[in-house]
Amino acid sequence: MEAPPVTTMPVSGGTINMMEYLLQGSILDQGLESLLHRLRGLCDNMEPETFADHESVYLLKGQQASPFVLRARRPLDRPGAPWHLRYLGQPEAGDRSRHTLVRNCVDIATSEVLPEFLQEMGFRMDHEFVAKGHLFRKGAMKVAVYKVFRVLVAGTADGAEPLSLSYLVELSVVAPAGQDSVADEVRSFAEQLRPLVQLEKIDPKRLM
C-alpha cells in the first residue's frame, strides 16, 4: 500500500468571519410544483437535488445570560455522510437599505460521534426537527425548499409529522464579512420568485 505524501499545510485554519445573507418565505403545498418548476428554470443546470436532514439544536448554558446554541444536522438519506455542525450568530436585520438578514455563521463537517461529543462538552439538546425538501443553487446562492417535521419520538426521525401545510423557502449566500453586494444579488433573485413566494428578511426574535 502506497503511503500518502506529506503535505505542508498551516497548522490551524478555517475561515474566520463568514456571514450568511438570508431571506425566508414559505409556499403552500399546492404551490410547490410551480415553485420547483420556476427554480429549475432560474437556477444552475444540475440534477434536481433532494435532502432529508434531522437537525438537533443544542444549548450550552454558562454564566452568560444567553446560552450558546449549536445545530447538528444528520443526513437521513445519505448514510455515512458527515454530520453538519453549525453555529449561527445573532441575526441583524439592519435598516431598509440592507436587503437581507445577516448573521455570522460557522459551518463544520464532523464525524458521527457529534451528539456524544456535544454532550461531553456540556451541551444539552433543546429541540429537534426533521427537514425534507429540495435544494437548488445559483452560483454561490442556495435555495432550500423544505418541509419541517415535528419529531414524535426523541432522537428518531421515524414517524415525524409535518408541522404545517407549507414548505419553508430559504434563499441564502455565505460570504466573507463586508461583501454586502451579495445581499443585492439575493434580493434581485427573490424578486424573480414573486408572486409565488414572498421572500423577506424575517427577524425571528420579533415573532416570539
Size of the site for another protein (CB under 8 A): 93
Element (DSSP H or E) covering residue 116? helix 114-121
Candidates 97, 153, 178, 181: give the one binding another protein (CB under 8 A).
153
Q: Using the rule CB under 8 A, is 68 a contact of another protein?
A: yes
**Nearest residue (CB) to another protein, 77 versus 159:** 159
What's the min distance (Å) between Cβ of 26 and another protein? 4
Look at the alpha carbons of 82, 85, 25, 16 in this order and tell me if their dihedral is positive or negative.
negative
Candidates 152, 176, 177, 184: give the one binding another protein (CB under 8 A).
152
Residue for grid cell 445581499: 183
Residue for grid cell 453555529: 87
Q: Using the rule CB under 8 A, is 168 a contact of another protein?
A: yes
Candidates 45, 97, 154, 178: give the one binding another protein (CB under 8 A).
154
What's the min distance (Å) between Cβ of 123 and another protein? 9
Q: Using the rule CB under 8 A, is 79 a contact of another protein?
A: no
Q: Which of residues 125-144 bind another protein (CB under 8 A)?
A: 125-129, 131
Q: CA–CA separation, 129 vs 146, rounded Å? A: 12
Q: Residue 14 half-sphere exposure, CB side, CA atoms within 13 Å?
A: 9
What's the min distance (Å) between Cβ of 122 and another protein? 4
Between strands 124-138 and 49-60, the pairing is: antiparallel
Q: Using the rule CB under 8 A, is 163 a contact of another protein?
A: yes
Q: Residue 84 half-sphere exposure, CB side, CA atoms within 13 Å?
A: 15
Contacts with another protein, 13-32, as mask; x by CB under 8 A: xxxx-------xxxxx-xx-
Amino acid at 111: S
Q: Using the rule CB under 8 A, is 41 a contact of another protein?
A: yes
Q: Residue 52 half-sphere exposure, CB side, CA atoms within 13 Å?
A: 9
Give the count of beta carbons closer than 10 Å to the beta carbon of residue 121: 11
Q: Which of residues 81-120 bind another protein (CB under 8 A)?
A: 85, 87, 90, 106-111, 113-117, 119-120
Evaluate the omega torsion of the peptide bond into residue 5 and state whether it is cis, within 30 degrees of 0. no
Candidates 44, 45, 47, 66: give the one binding another protein (CB under 8 A).
66
